[in-house]
Amino acid sequence: MPDLFDAIRSDHSEIIAETIADGAVILHGFALDVAAELLAAVDAIAAQAPFRHMLVPSGHSMSVAITNCGSAGWVSDRKGYRYDRIDPDSGRPWPSLPACFLDLALRAADAAGYGGFVPDACLINCYVPGARVSLHQDKNERDFSAPIVSVSLGLPATFLFGGLRRTDRAARFRLSHGDVAVWGAASRMAFHGIAPLKPGAHVLAGERRINLTFRKAI
Ligand code: MD3
Ligand code: FE
């Protein structure tokens, strides 16, 4: 049984915080009141650093399109995965973290019990119907004691949450527009992924799911 408790949003409305595993909390609807502002900021970032399908070491390209903001961005190519201060497509630094991104990430981390979390990188994933991310661990960050904060916008997705071994059976959770999840402690190194996105159109985001993941990367 998930452990349910209440958290209080800045406007004092109650939001449900669902603990799905040790250190993993979904704050349902936590970003709803700033979602339009976040999506406008994503568009401004993508105008500077366009979404692109990165290659992975096998030579395949990812079905999810990505960009980044912050002092470093996650990049992938034939050589592997890493964080880089420079966008390889433009040769310029990534756009900086918008104030509305930083404010939301800090408030969500605080609400989940990670006061003092200061991200330096935000990976932005863009899914269209059919796009997916297979089970993986996030281990390119320097400091695994910091949590990762993720924000779901647009079309809903089925989140796959496994264990510390790739072969551990994955549980499924729905991540909807406005949900914010915080992944720390024992959940930080859990295998996780996203099932192929189902077709649909969201009133604010269109035929897409946008996911922001805030990290302490470098
Ligand atoms: C659990 N993104 O960017 S967000 C990723 O929805 C990534 O686009 C997915 O996995 C997405 O790496 C899932 C939820 C998430 C993000 C990072 C985690 C869950 C996590 C790191 C550790 C454990
Ligand atoms: Fe991940």
CATH code at position 39: 2.60.120.590
Is residue 214 within 8 A of residue 72, CB to CB? The reply is no
Asked whether residue 208 carries a pLDDT value surpassing 50, the answer given is yes
Asked whether residue 156 carries a pLDDT value surpassing 90, the answer given is yes
With residue 27 as reference, give the H or E element that holds it.
strand 24-27
Q: Domain for residue 11, yes or no? A: no
Mean pLDDT, the chain, whole residue set: 95
- The confidence score (pLDDT) of residue 170 equals 97
Q: Domain for residue 3, yes or no? A: no
Q: Domain for residue 54, yes or no? A: yes
| Atom 22 of ligand 1, residue of closest alpha carbon | 188
Q: Domain for residue 16, yes or no? A: no
Asked whether residue 171 carries a pLDDT value surpassing 50, the answer given is yes
Supply the angle between the helices 99-111 and 35-48 in degrees, to the nearest 10.
Answer: 130
Name the pTM for this structure: 0.95
Percent of the chain whose pLDDT exceeds 70: 94
Is residue 195 within 8 A of residue 133, CB to CB? The reply is no
Atom of ligand 1 nearest to the CA of 213: 3
Closest-approaching ligand to the CA atom of 215: 1
Q: Domain for residue 8, yes or no? A: no
Q: Domain for residue 10, yes or no? A: no
Residue 159 contacts by C-beta under 8 Å, 6 or more apart in sequence? 172, 173, 174, 175, 181, 192, 193, 194, 195
Q: Which of 51, 210, 213, 216 is the pocket-test mutation for ligand 1 (most atoms within 8 Å of CB)?
A: 213
- The total domain count for the chain is 1
pLDDT digits (tens, 9 = 90+) for 86-142: 999 999 999 999 999 999 999 999 999 999 999 999 999 999 999 999 999 999 999
- The confidence score (pLDDT) of residue 63 equals 98
Region at 120 (left for phi over 0; alpha for psi -120 to 50; beta for the rest): alpha
Q: What is the mean pLDDT of residues 133-162?
A: 97
pLDDT digits (tens, 9 = 90+) for 35-74: 999 999 999 999 999 999 999 999 999 999 999 999 999 9
With residue 80 as reference, give the H or E element that holds it.
strand 80-84
Asked whether residue 29 carries a pLDDT value surpassing 50, the answer given is yes
Is residue 75 within 8 A of residue 82, CB to CB? The reply is yes
Q: Domain for residue 134, yes or no? A: yes
192 Cα to the center of ligand 1, angstroms? 7
DSSP helix/strand/coil, 85: coil
- The confidence score (pLDDT) of residue 1 equals 38
Cα separation, 111 vs 118, in Å, equals 14
Q: Which residues line ligand 1 (CB under 6 A)?
A: 123, 125, 133, 138, 148, 150, 181, 183, 187-188, 190, 192, 194, 211, 213
Cα separation, 146 vs 153, in Å, equals 23
Q: Domain for residue 72, yes or no? A: yes
State which residues form the domain around 135: 31-181+189-215
* 123: phi then psi, degrees, rounded to nearest 5: -85, 130
- The confidence score (pLDDT) of residue 6 equals 59
